[in-house]
Amino acid sequence: MKEDRKESVRKSGIYEKETGNPDGERKNQMQENVCAPETEAVLQRIRYDEKGLVPAVVQDEETKQVLMLAYMNEESLRRTLCTGTTWFYSRSRQALWNKGETSGHFQYVSKVSYDCDCDTILVIARQKGAACHTGNFTCFYRDFPQMK
Amino acid sequence: MKEDRKESVRKSGIYEKETGNPDGERKNQMQENVCAPETEAVLQRIRYDEKGLVPAVVQDEETKQVLMLAYMNEESLRRTLCTGTTWFYSRSRQALWNKGETSGHFQYVSKVSYDCDCDTILVIARQKGAACHTGNFTCFYRDFPQMK
Protein backbone atom coordinates (compact mmCIF):
# COMPACT_ATOMS: atom_id res chain seq x y z
CA MET A 1 0.00 0.00 0.00
CA LYS A 2 2.75 2.40 0.91
CA GLU A 3 4.67 1.34 -2.15
CA ASP A 4 1.62 2.08 -4.33
CA ARG A 5 1.31 5.57 -2.94
CA LYS A 6 5.00 6.20 -3.33
CA GLU A 7 4.84 5.10 -6.94
CA SER A 8 1.79 7.27 -7.59
CA VAL A 9 3.52 10.22 -5.95
CA ARG A 10 6.67 9.62 -8.00
CA LYS A 11 4.73 9.56 -11.27
CA SER A 12 2.49 12.54 -10.56
CA GLY A 13 5.11 14.73 -8.97
CA ILE A 14 2.47 15.78 -6.46
CA TYR A 15 2.94 15.14 -2.79
CA GLU A 16 0.15 15.14 -0.29
CA LYS A 17 -0.47 18.34 1.59
CA GLU A 18 1.88 18.50 4.51
CA THR A 19 -0.87 18.94 7.06
CA GLY A 20 -2.53 15.65 6.14
CA ASN A 21 -1.87 12.18 7.57
CA PRO A 22 1.24 12.64 9.67
CA ASP A 23 2.23 8.99 9.39
CA GLY A 24 5.64 7.41 9.53
CA GLU A 25 6.41 8.06 5.91
CA ARG A 26 5.81 11.77 6.27
CA LYS A 27 8.00 11.84 9.36
CA ASN A 28 10.83 10.39 7.31
CA GLN A 29 10.28 12.97 4.58
CA MET A 30 10.49 15.74 7.15
CA GLN A 31 13.68 14.37 8.60
CA GLU A 32 15.23 14.29 5.14
CA ASN A 33 14.31 17.93 4.60
CA VAL A 34 15.86 19.66 7.55
CA CYS A 35 18.51 21.99 6.17
CA ALA A 36 21.88 22.85 7.67
CA PRO A 37 21.56 25.01 10.85
CA GLU A 38 22.77 28.20 9.10
CA THR A 39 20.14 27.72 6.39
CA GLU A 40 17.40 27.00 8.93
CA ALA A 41 18.33 30.26 10.70
CA VAL A 42 17.81 32.29 7.50
CA LEU A 43 14.57 30.40 6.80
CA GLN A 44 13.16 31.87 10.01
CA ARG A 45 13.45 35.39 8.55
CA ILE A 46 11.05 34.75 5.67
CA ARG A 47 7.62 36.35 6.00
CA TYR A 48 4.75 34.37 4.51
CA ASP A 49 1.36 35.84 3.63
CA GLU A 50 -1.92 34.99 5.39
CA LYS A 51 -2.06 31.76 3.40
CA GLY A 52 1.46 30.75 4.44
CA LEU A 53 2.89 31.47 0.99
CA VAL A 54 5.64 33.60 -0.50
CA PRO A 55 6.05 34.42 -4.22
CA ALA A 56 9.17 32.95 -5.82
CA VAL A 57 10.67 34.29 -9.05
CA VAL A 58 12.83 31.90 -11.06
CA GLN A 59 15.56 33.30 -13.30
CA ASP A 60 17.62 31.24 -15.76
CA GLU A 61 21.29 31.30 -14.80
CA GLU A 62 22.63 31.22 -18.35
CA THR A 63 20.30 33.48 -20.36
CA LYS A 64 19.25 35.64 -17.35
CA GLN A 65 15.65 35.41 -18.58
CA VAL A 66 12.94 35.55 -15.93
CA LEU A 67 11.23 32.19 -16.39
CA MET A 68 8.23 32.10 -14.09
CA LEU A 69 6.66 33.07 -10.80
CA ALA A 70 5.15 30.49 -8.47
CA TYR A 71 4.39 30.26 -4.77
CA MET A 72 6.29 28.47 -2.01
CA ASN A 73 5.28 27.55 1.51
CA GLU A 74 7.96 26.99 4.12
CA GLU A 75 8.29 23.30 3.33
CA SER A 76 8.68 23.84 -0.43
CA LEU A 77 11.32 26.51 0.21
CA ARG A 78 13.13 24.13 2.55
CA ARG A 79 13.04 21.35 -0.06
CA THR A 80 14.30 23.76 -2.73
CA LEU A 81 17.23 24.63 -0.47
CA CYS A 82 17.94 21.04 0.54
CA THR A 83 17.42 19.11 -2.68
CA GLY A 84 18.82 21.49 -5.31
CA THR A 85 15.73 21.49 -7.55
CA THR A 86 12.72 23.80 -7.24
CA TRP A 87 9.66 22.91 -5.19
CA PHE A 88 6.49 24.98 -5.12
CA TYR A 89 3.08 24.91 -3.51
CA SER A 90 0.19 24.59 -5.95
CA ARG A 91 -2.67 26.77 -4.70
CA SER A 92 -5.21 25.04 -6.96
CA ARG A 93 -4.18 21.49 -6.01
CA GLN A 94 -3.15 22.40 -2.45
CA ALA A 95 -0.08 20.23 -2.81
CA LEU A 96 3.68 20.45 -2.95
CA TRP A 97 5.08 20.20 -6.44
CA ASN A 98 8.62 19.39 -7.61
CA LYS A 99 8.90 21.19 -10.94
CA GLY A 100 10.11 18.82 -13.63
CA GLU A 101 9.13 15.60 -11.94
CA THR A 102 6.57 14.77 -14.64
CA SER A 103 8.06 16.68 -17.60
CA GLY A 104 11.73 16.12 -16.83
CA HIS A 105 12.18 19.90 -17.10
CA PHE A 106 13.88 20.34 -13.75
CA GLN A 107 15.31 23.62 -12.50
CA TYR A 108 18.76 23.01 -10.97
CA VAL A 109 19.19 25.65 -8.30
CA SER A 110 22.45 27.56 -7.97
CA LYS A 111 21.42 30.44 -5.73
CA VAL A 112 18.42 31.44 -3.64
CA SER A 113 18.03 35.08 -2.54
CA TYR A 114 15.36 36.95 -0.60
CA ASP A 115 14.33 40.58 -0.80
CA CYS A 116 14.63 43.51 1.59
CA ASP A 117 11.18 42.83 3.08
CA CYS A 118 11.87 39.07 3.36
CA ASP A 119 8.61 38.41 1.52
CA THR A 120 9.80 37.46 -1.97
CA ILE A 121 12.20 34.72 -3.06
CA LEU A 122 14.49 34.79 -6.11
CA VAL A 123 15.83 31.48 -7.39
CA ILE A 124 18.69 31.45 -9.90
CA ALA A 125 18.61 28.08 -11.64
CA ARG A 126 19.70 26.18 -14.71
CA GLN A 127 16.52 25.37 -16.61
CA LYS A 128 16.44 21.98 -18.33
CA GLY A 129 14.10 21.99 -21.35
CA ALA A 130 11.38 24.62 -21.00
CA ALA A 131 9.99 26.35 -17.91
CA CYS A 132 6.51 26.85 -19.37
CA HIS A 133 3.86 24.16 -19.78
CA THR A 134 3.18 25.63 -23.26
CA GLY A 135 6.66 24.56 -24.36
CA ASN A 136 8.05 28.08 -24.32
CA PHE A 137 11.37 28.48 -22.53
CA THR A 138 9.92 31.23 -20.34
CA CYS A 139 6.33 31.73 -19.17
CA PHE A 140 6.68 35.43 -20.17
CA TYR A 141 6.52 34.86 -23.92
CA ARG A 142 3.87 37.52 -24.66
CA ASP A 143 4.36 41.29 -24.51
CA PHE A 144 2.08 44.27 -24.36
CA PRO A 145 2.17 46.30 -27.60
CA GLN A 146 5.22 48.49 -27.87
CA MET A 147 4.81 51.75 -26.01
CA LYS A 148 5.21 55.02 -27.84
CA MET B 1 -7.45 74.17 -3.24
CA LYS B 2 -6.98 71.93 -6.20
CA GLU B 3 -3.54 73.37 -6.71
CA ASP B 4 -2.63 72.56 -3.09
CA ARG B 5 -3.68 68.96 -3.48
CA LYS B 6 -1.82 68.61 -6.74
CA GLU B 7 1.33 69.99 -5.14
CA SER B 8 0.99 67.67 -2.15
CA VAL B 9 0.47 64.73 -4.47
CA ARG B 10 3.49 65.68 -6.55
CA LYS B 11 5.72 65.89 -3.48
CA SER B 12 4.54 62.74 -1.77
CA GLY B 13 4.37 60.58 -4.86
CA ILE B 14 1.20 59.06 -3.48
CA TYR B 15 -2.06 59.45 -5.31
CA GLU B 16 -5.42 59.03 -3.69
CA LYS B 17 -7.03 55.66 -4.03
CA GLU B 18 -8.82 55.52 -7.35
CA THR B 19 -12.19 54.67 -5.84
CA GLY B 20 -12.34 57.90 -3.82
CA ASN B 21 -13.77 61.28 -4.85
CA PRO B 22 -14.53 60.92 -8.54
CA ASP B 23 -14.29 64.65 -9.14
CA GLY B 24 -13.30 66.56 -12.23
CA GLU B 25 -9.62 66.25 -11.59
CA ARG B 26 -9.78 62.48 -11.36
CA LYS B 27 -11.77 62.38 -14.58
CA ASN B 28 -8.96 64.21 -16.31
CA GLN B 29 -6.41 61.80 -14.83
CA MET B 30 -8.39 58.86 -16.14
CA GLN B 31 -8.64 60.39 -19.58
CA GLU B 32 -4.89 60.83 -19.63
CA ASN B 33 -4.43 57.19 -18.68
CA VAL B 34 -6.45 55.39 -21.31
CA CYS B 35 -3.98 53.44 -23.38
CA ALA B 36 -4.08 52.83 -27.12
CA PRO B 37 -6.90 50.43 -28.13
CA GLU B 38 -4.54 47.50 -28.82
CA THR B 39 -3.01 47.92 -25.36
CA GLU B 40 -6.44 48.18 -23.70
CA ALA B 41 -7.39 44.91 -25.43
CA VAL B 42 -4.41 43.08 -23.92
CA LEU B 43 -5.14 44.67 -20.53
CA GLN B 44 -8.45 42.82 -20.52
CA ARG B 45 -6.63 39.47 -20.49
CA ILE B 46 -4.90 40.08 -17.14
CA ARG B 47 -6.28 38.11 -14.21
CA TYR B 48 -6.14 39.88 -10.85
CA ASP B 49 -6.41 38.14 -7.49
CA GLU B 50 -9.31 38.51 -5.05
CA LYS B 51 -7.85 41.86 -3.96
CA GLY B 52 -7.64 43.13 -7.53
CA LEU B 53 -3.86 42.82 -7.62
CA VAL B 54 -1.26 41.09 -9.78
CA PRO B 55 2.42 40.59 -8.84
CA ALA B 56 4.88 42.48 -11.05
CA VAL B 57 8.55 41.54 -11.33
CA VAL B 58 10.95 44.28 -12.43
CA GLN B 59 14.16 43.33 -14.23
CA ASP B 60 16.96 45.76 -15.09
CA GLU B 61 17.41 46.01 -18.85
CA GLU B 62 21.17 46.49 -18.78
CA THR B 63 22.42 44.15 -16.03
CA LYS B 64 19.49 41.67 -16.33
CA GLN B 65 19.31 41.63 -12.52
CA VAL B 66 15.90 41.02 -10.99
CA LEU B 67 15.34 44.21 -9.00
CA MET B 68 12.09 43.82 -7.05
CA LEU B 69 8.60 42.47 -6.89
CA ALA B 70 5.61 44.69 -6.17
CA TYR B 71 1.88 44.60 -6.81
CA MET B 72 -0.17 46.37 -9.46
CA ASN B 73 -3.89 46.92 -9.77
CA GLU B 74 -5.40 47.58 -13.19
CA GLU B 75 -4.92 51.34 -12.94
CA SER B 76 -1.25 51.09 -11.95
CA LEU B 77 -0.61 48.66 -14.80
CA ARG B 78 -2.36 51.04 -17.20
CA ARG B 79 -0.28 53.99 -15.95
CA THR B 80 2.90 51.93 -16.30
CA LEU B 81 1.97 51.19 -19.91
CA CYS B 82 0.92 54.76 -20.69
CA THR B 83 3.51 56.84 -18.88
CA GLY B 84 6.69 54.82 -19.37
CA THR B 85 7.65 54.67 -15.68
CA THR B 86 6.52 52.04 -13.17
CA TRP B 87 3.42 52.47 -11.03
CA PHE B 88 2.44 50.06 -8.26
CA TYR B 89 -0.30 49.69 -5.69
CA SER B 90 0.88 49.87 -2.10
CA ARG B 91 -1.06 47.33 -0.05
CA SER B 92 -0.08 48.95 3.25
CA ARG B 93 -0.96 52.51 2.18
CA GLN B 94 -3.80 51.47 -0.15
CA ALA B 95 -2.59 53.97 -2.71
CA LEU B 96 -1.05 54.12 -6.15
CA TRP B 97 2.63 54.76 -6.15
CA ASN B 98 4.93 56.00 -8.91
CA LYS B 99 8.29 54.49 -8.09
CA GLY B 100 10.97 57.17 -8.04
CA GLU B 101 8.73 60.14 -7.52
CA THR B 102 10.20 60.87 -4.09
CA SER B 103 13.66 59.35 -4.49
CA GLY B 104 14.24 60.23 -8.14
CA HIS B 105 15.05 56.56 -8.74
CA PHE B 106 12.60 56.04 -11.58
CA GLN B 107 12.33 52.86 -13.61
CA TYR B 108 12.08 53.70 -17.32
CA VAL B 109 10.03 50.94 -18.90
CA SER B 110 11.10 49.38 -22.18
CA LYS B 111 8.96 46.22 -22.25
CA VAL B 112 6.03 44.77 -20.31
CA SER B 113 5.25 41.05 -20.61
CA TYR B 114 2.69 38.77 -18.98
CA ASP B 115 2.88 35.09 -18.21
CA CYS B 116 1.09 32.04 -19.58
CA ASP B 117 -1.63 32.25 -16.90
CA CYS B 118 -2.02 36.03 -17.36
CA ASP B 119 -1.57 36.48 -13.61
CA THR B 120 2.01 37.80 -13.36
CA ILE B 121 3.61 40.85 -15.00
CA LEU B 122 7.26 41.22 -16.00
CA VAL B 123 8.59 44.74 -16.54
CA ILE B 124 11.94 45.26 -18.26
CA ALA B 125 13.19 48.70 -17.31
CA ARG B 126 16.21 50.91 -17.04
CA GLN B 127 16.76 51.55 -13.33
CA LYS B 128 17.96 55.01 -12.40
CA GLY B 129 19.90 54.96 -9.11
CA ALA B 130 18.87 52.06 -6.89
CA ALA B 131 15.70 49.98 -6.87
CA CYS B 132 15.84 49.21 -3.15
CA HIS B 133 15.00 51.61 -0.35
CA THR B 134 18.12 50.34 1.46
CA GLY B 135 20.28 51.86 -1.28
CA ASN B 136 21.12 48.51 -2.84
CA PHE B 137 20.69 48.33 -6.60
CA THR B 138 18.42 45.29 -6.26
CA CYS B 139 16.10 44.32 -3.41
CA PHE B 140 17.53 40.78 -3.63
CA TYR B 141 20.89 41.59 -2.05
CA ARG B 142 20.91 38.73 0.48
CA ASP B 143 21.34 35.02 -0.30
CA PHE B 144 20.69 31.82 1.55
CA PRO B 145 23.92 30.04 2.54
CA GLN B 146 25.53 28.21 -0.35
CA MET B 147 23.99 24.81 -0.90
CA LYS B 148 26.19 21.75 -0.85
The pLDDT score that the predictor gives to residue B148 is 55
Q: Minimal Cα–Cα distance from A97 to chain B, Å?
A: 17
* Domain B2-127 fold: Ubiquitin-like (UB roll) (3.10.20)
**Do B81 and B46 touch, CB atoms closer than 8 A?**
no
- Are the Cβ atoms of B120 and A69 closer than 8 angstroms? yes
The pLDDT score that the predictor gives to residue A66 is 98
Q: Which residues of A touch B36 (CB under 8 A)?
A: 145, 148
Residues 21 through 60 of chain B touching chain A, CB cutoff 8 Å: 36, 38-39, 42-43, 55, 57, 59
**Do B116 and B47 touch, CB atoms closer than 8 A?**
no
pLDDT tens track for B65-101: 999 999 999 999 999 999 999 999 999 999 999 999 9
Whether B132 contacts chain A with CB within 8 A: yes
Task: Give residues with Cβ within 8 angstroms of B23, minimum separation 6.
Answer: none
The pLDDT score that the predictor gives to residue A21 is 41
pLDDT tens track for B22-68: 444 444 344 457 888 999 999 999 999 999 999 999 999 999 999 99
**Do B128 and A23 touch, CB atoms closer than 8 A?**
no
pLDDT tens track for A85-143: 999 999 999 999 999 999 999 999 999 999 999 999 999 999 999 999 999 999 999 99
Identity of the residue in A66, A111, A132 whose CB atom sits nearest the CB atom of B143: A111
Q: What is the DSSP letter of B85?
A: B
The pLDDT score that the predictor gives to residue B6 is 41
ipTM over 0.85: no
Q: Which residue has the higher pLDDT, A90 or A16?
A: A90
What is the average pLDDT across A26-31?
A: 43
Alpha-carbon span B28 to A62, nearest angstrom: 46
DSSP assignment of A92-117 equals TTTEEEETTTTTS--EEEEEEEE-TT
**For residue A122, what are the β-bridge partners?**
A57, A113
The pLDDT score that the predictor gives to residue A128 is 98
B68-98 residues labelled b (16+ CB within 10 A) or e (exposed) = bbbbbbbbbbbbbbbeebbbbbeeeeebbbb
Alpha-carbon span A130 to A85, nearest angstrom: 14
Residue of B nearest to A143 (CA): B113
**Do B72 and B57 touch, CB atoms closer than 8 A?**
no
The pLDDT score that the predictor gives to residue A32 is 57
Strands (E), chain A: 14-15, 54-60, 66-72, 87-90, 95-98, 107-114, 121-127, 142-143
Whether A76 contacts chain B with CB within 8 A: no
Q: pLDDT at residue A20 above 60?
A: no
Q: pLDDT at residue B13 above 80?
A: no
Q: Tell me the count of A-B CB pairs closer than 8 A.
A: 103
pTM of the predicted model as reported, rounded to 2 decimal places:
0.80
What is the average pLDDT across B122-132?
A: 98
